[in-house]
Amino acid sequence: MFSNVVALYRAIGAPTIEDGVIRYEGMPTPDIIGALRMCDGLPAAYGKFEHCSEEADSLDIEFRLPSNESGRFYANLGEFVARNGSLGKGQFPSNVYIVELCWADSDDIEPPTIKALRRVCRLIELLALLAIGVDKDSSQDGFNLFFALPPDGAKPPRTFLLPTQVDIKVLDYELNHLSLLEEILNRKNENKAHLSERKLMIRMAVASVIEKFESEPNLFLVIVREWREVLATYRANLQTYVYSFSFERARREVAQAEIDYGTKLSGVLGDIAGKMLALPISLAGLVVLEKTTSKFEGFILVLGLAVVSVVLLAILHNQMLQTERLLHSFNVIFDDFKDKIKTYPPKLQGLLRITIDQVDKQGRTLTRTFRLLKGLSLLPIVGALLLAAIKYWDDFLWLLKAILAMVFSVLNVAPNILSL
């Protein structure tokens, strides 16, 4: 209904408002007549005709404009801001017309100043959600919002009061990136990681700006004016937090990886420690071989010692392959750290280099140990063959001659060599 009053005001040429009354005296036009008919029977809350004289060729009207919650006319934006305390509580009034802007809230297009004022109202709503405490009743012209800073070294914790009284001067400053605050305070995002930390950071950013300018009379104007600094402080704190969180996580991952791979590499050697006890036991078989008088027993002992050597070599080869797999998986995981090592703090860089060097050193030590154990694993078979060759040398010669005689006889070659 207030839009009908606005239509009448515009139809008669937006005359000067005198004591809340608009007057028109002149020719009736279709637009004016149409607007008059739309205002016929309006409830008194939306205004009333104090005088209306309609003739065929003349029209004389006086209409008292509403001045209540049903509708209100303002000469300019300054008057609108000064007379609407609801703006300080984030509530943009309805059924209003601002003469200076030729704008009513029912219009489809809003002037830039109105858009800016709506953003200010939205900021107040968001700050009320962000604050650690809100006093909504002490003032009709705004909220009293409470923000705090934690203790910092010798500085004790501090609490600040932010009255949200809106001044026309807030429109002198741009208020951008409110979507960031909306995202942080949106309940749909409550389960997102680190949301509580982000709330705390932007709350502290607001408090730090208040602390910096607390001597100024209008702290809400300070927040609007220094909104870029609020966002810059928040982003700096967030970046520091993310970096420290990322570095701390990287530090934990590096330490855990070092423990895991060190344990696994040590376990590789531990797995074969018991099996390698067969080596000194098998060497005792050489003593038995040297004392035996039976050729059959000697053959069995040589065969047994050969089996021991083969089994030990197979076990060592398998453990070497497992060590190579562990070192390869270590390198795969740490390649990502190596690529980013220059982005980490110096302390973490040093930790990474030490970890990589120690695991590489442990891998090289294991490789050398396995090579040594492989050489020792050959002792049973080599010792058995040498001892058997010495002890049964005549039998070996006789067997060799018999084999050669058989071969040469098959080839029809005179085995003169056998007479040697």
pLDDT digits (tens, 9 = 90+) for 17-28: 888 888 888 888
- Single out the residue of 132, 233, 112, 129 nearest to residue 174, CA to CA: 112
User: Helix, strand or coil for residue 182?
Assistant: helix
Residue with tokens 């970890």: 355
**pLDDT at 222 (0 to 100):** 92
CB 226 within 8 A of CB 323: no
d(CA 409, CA 412): 5
Nearest to 384 by CA among 281, 290, 316: 290
CA dist., res. 227 & res. 210, Å (int): 11
Q: Are 352 and 337 in contact (CB under 8 A)?
A: yes
Q: State which fold the 2-71 domain adopts.
A: Dodecin subunit-like (3.30.1660)
- pLDDT reading at 165 higher than 70: yes
> Where is average pLDDT lowest: 52-61, 167-176, 213-222?
52-61
Q: CA–CA separation, 23 vs 15, rounded Å? A: 7
Q: Is the pTM of this model over 0.75?
A: no
**241-255: average pLDDT:** 62
Distance CA 99, CA 104 (A): 9
pLDDT at 122: 92
pLDDT band at 74 (very low <50, low <70, confident <90, very high): very high
How much is the mean pLDDT over the chain? 80
Instruction: Work out the pLDDT band at 50, boundaries 50, 70, 90.
Output: confident
**What pLDDT score was predicted for residue 115?**
92
Q: Which residues contact 99 (CB under 8 A, 6 or more apart)?
A: 14, 17, 73, 74, 75, 76
Per mean pLDDT, which range of 2-6, 205-209, 322-326 is the poorest? 322-326
CB of 12 within 8 A of CB of 22?
yes
Contact 106, 2 (CB under 8 A): yes
pLDDT number for residue 118: 92
Confidence of residue 44 (pLDDT cuts 50, 70, 90): confident
Phi/psi at 157 (nearest 5 deg)? -65, 150
pLDDT tens readout for residues 338-395: 666 665 667 667 777 787 787 778 778 878 887 888 887 787 788 777 777 777 666 6
Looking at residue 413, its pLDDT comes to 52
Task: Output the CA torsion sign for 333, 338, 339, 345.
Answer: positive
pLDDT beyond 60 at 418 = no
Which residue bears the tokens 């208040």? 210
pLDDT at 194 over 70: no
Domain boundaries, the chain: 2-71, 112-225, 246-410
What's the mean pLDDT in 227-246?
Answer: 76
